[in-house]
A = this chain, B = another copy of it.
């Protein structure tokens, strides 16, 4: 089902949902995150291996109650200041943390995608994560007696990813670094995919991942929707924007002003979402 972004977010993302917006540096659904902010969603449990600037914005905007993650930083730059402010000072609201390693998170998604209640990995042994994270438990191999780590499946209410293309039937195609997006979509109850373009036919591409339309709840055309991250074959990463975020996000007032201007404001660059018919936007962000 092809929907404008604001309608798709309105229909798929609900207050209190567990939301996984995945992307490993590449194809990050930034504009979808802005739309979630605009629609004022609250009490979300945000899930992501690498929460970066889009989650920093959502946390700073007060959307999140909890973060399930493995590495929360501004990739190649440093810290996430809104994340730090929420953890350290509870601003704008406290943020509960559930921390894993990348290996644990990836396997949690894979278990969710596979309809299993848990995954097994060699991980966490001897770390303080074991004591801090109740979703890490020991499990014994019934054949060798070895002790390994078990982690529960992740099954988000909704997964949001960005992809290069979809066809009109809603089949989605992405390529380049595709991270854990397939698993996140398959693990979720509902899936929203923003795409650079909708095409008649998905010409096969080396390294492609195709998500059949039957596992995609909604596709929203959002050209530039991954900026300042990149879309392989469409545009490159805007490293300066990541660096610039550091200064913007350090200060609450400066952040709030940025949010008003760039997310709630009428302006907006190439990542501006497609307008909804009938002025629904206003209603939803009121």
This protein's copies in its complex: 2
Is A270 in the interface zone, CB < 8 Å from B? no
**Residue numbers in B under 8 Å from A137 (CB-CB):** 142-143
Instruction: Give the residue of B141, B143, B146, B150 whose beta carbon is less than 8 angstroms from that of A142.
Output: B150
Of residues 86 through 127 on chain A, the ones whose CB sits less than 8 Å from some CB of chain B are: 115-122
Is A261 in the interface zone, CB < 8 Å from B? no
Q: A116-B121, A122-B116 are in contact. Are A142 and B144 (CB under 8 A)?
A: no
For this complex, 25 residue pairs linking A to B, each with C-beta atoms less than 8 Å apart, are A116-B120, A116-B121, A116-B148, A117-B141, A117-B144, A117-B146, A117-B148, A118-B120, A118-B141, A118-B143, A118-B144, A119-B120, A120-B120, A135-B143, A137-B143, A139-B139, A139-B142, A141-B150, A142-B150, A143-B150, A143-B152, A144-B152, A204-B206, A205-B206, A207-B208
Chain A interface residues (CB < 8 Å from chain B): 115-122, 135, 137-139, 141-144, 146, 148, 150, 152, 204-208
**Residue numbers in B under 8 Å from A146 (CB-CB):** 117
Q: Mostly helix, strand, loop or mixed at chain A's interface? A: loop
**Residue numbers in B under 8 Å from A120 (CB-CB):** 116, 118-120
Q: Please give me the residue from chain B that is nearest to A111 by CB atom.
A: B120
Closest CB of chain B to A169's CB: distance in Å? 19
Instruction: Give the residue of B115, B118, B142, B208 whose beta carbon is less than 8 angstroms from that of A118.
Output: B142
Closest CB of chain B to A154's CB: distance in Å? 12
Q: Please give me the residue from chain B that is nearest to A175 by CB atom.
A: B206
**Residue numbers in B under 8 Å from A208 (CB-CB):** 206-207
Closest CB of chain B to A43's CB: distance in Å? 23
- Docked-complex contact A122 and B118, CB < 8 angstroms: no
- In the bound assembly, the distance between CA atoms of A115 and B107 in angstroms comes to 14
Given A119-B120, A138-B142, output 20 extra A-B contacts at Cβ < 8 Å: A115-B122, A116-B120, A116-B121, A116-B148, A117-B141, A117-B143, A117-B144, A117-B146, A117-B148, A118-B120, A118-B144, A120-B120, A135-B143, A137-B142, A143-B150, A143-B152, A144-B152, A204-B206, A204-B207, A206-B208
